[in-house]
Amino acid sequence: MNLILAIILLILMLYIDKNRGIKLFLGLIFNFIILIILFYLMALGINPIICALIGCLLISYVILYFVNGENIKTKTAIKSVIVVILILSVLIFIMTNISRIAGFGEEAYEEINMFSYDVNIDFTNITIALILIGLIGVTVDAAIAISSALYEVYTNNKSLSKKELFKSGMNIGKDILCTSMNTLLFAFLSEFMTLVIWYYECNYSFIDIINSKTFASEIIKIMFSAIGCISVIPITAYITSNTLIKNKKQTEEIAWT
């Protein structure tokens, strides 16, 4: 069944874009392999945060450079993603330690009760790593969307100043933000549905739900994804507009010499 779905996905990718369809499909496979290797390294005891940061860079490279090629759009997008990941990693570390959401909630005790708890793994670092990995998808998506759109705006009107380009990038970001927030919301609700049913069947009160480690963990993950999506907009708009104007000045200087 999985093979049939993979074939259907490949056919649709080739139908939409014959040139990049194969690259996009291979990119998905490469990212899947990267994640498997990351989880294996974490299980071996290597620092999960370092693994996650390296994994985020590799995944970003595959999504942006391997599929779309090396150009101004992908360069500015990956710079923006790196800045957002580095900034938010500090905030994620602080919030995870304060909220104490690491480890398993009560809802998982029945499933893991047969296993040994002596795994010699820092679950706080595991939680931080999972949030970072979950953050990378929406951040890369927003970054490349803004840099590509802003590049097209500049290509069609090279008389725009840096300030005007930045303003255009922010306007583009507002439209992207609306759809991205809804995507995150529905992804969260679909993933959270079984847990909601669990709470209902077990007669959890509202206070019990909001104080549940599992619920708090999911809320914090979705909030960080939303923060990443929002914060990457001005950062990408600034880096892209600055890069485009800088390249224009360098081109003009070369033409005069």
- With respect to residue 131, please indicate whether it lies within any of the assigned structural domains: yes
256 in a domain, yes or no? no
End-to-end CA distance of the chain: 63
- Kindly report the CATH number assigned to the domain that includes residue 180: 1.20.1640
Q: For the chain, how many residues are written?
A: 257
Sorted by sequence, the CB contacts under 8 Å of residue 104 that are 6+ apart come out as 112, 213
DSSP for 113-152 reads TTS-S-----HHHHHHHHHHHHHHHHHHHHHHHHHHHHHH
Say if residues 46 and 122 touch (Cβ distance below 8 Å): no
* Residue 13 in domain: no
Q: What is the pLDDT of residue 110?
A: 55
Residue span of the structural domain in which 63 resides = 48-102+121-251
- Look at residue 43 and tell me if it is in a domain: no
- Tell me if 151 is assigned to some domain: yes
Residue 90 lies in a domain: yes
pLDDT tens-digit profile, the chain (257 residues) = 677 877 777 777 777 777 777 777 787 888 888 888 888 888 787 888 888 888 888 888 888 877 777 788 888 888 888 898 888 888 888 877 776 666 555 555 555 555 555 556 666 777 778 888 888 878 888 888 888 888 888 888 877 788 888 888 888 888 787 777 777 777 777 767 777 777 777 777 777 777 777 777 777 778 888 888 888 889 998 998 888 888 766 544 444 44
Residue-wise burial string across 183-199, b where 16 or more C-beta atoms lie within 10 A, e elsewhere? ebeeebeeebeebeeeb
Report the domain count for the chain: 1
Q: Which residue has the tokens 């909001």?
A: 210
133 falls within a domain = yes
Predicted TM-score (pTM) above 0.75: yes
| DSSP designation for 71 | S
State how far the Cα of 236 lies from the Cα of 173, in Å rounded to an integer. 9
Residue 4 lies in a domain: no
* pLDDT confidence of residue 250: 52
Tokens 């795994």, residue?
Answer: 119
Considering only CA atoms, give the Rg of the chain. Answer: 21
DSSP string, 1-23: -HHHHHHHHHHHHHHH-TTTHHH
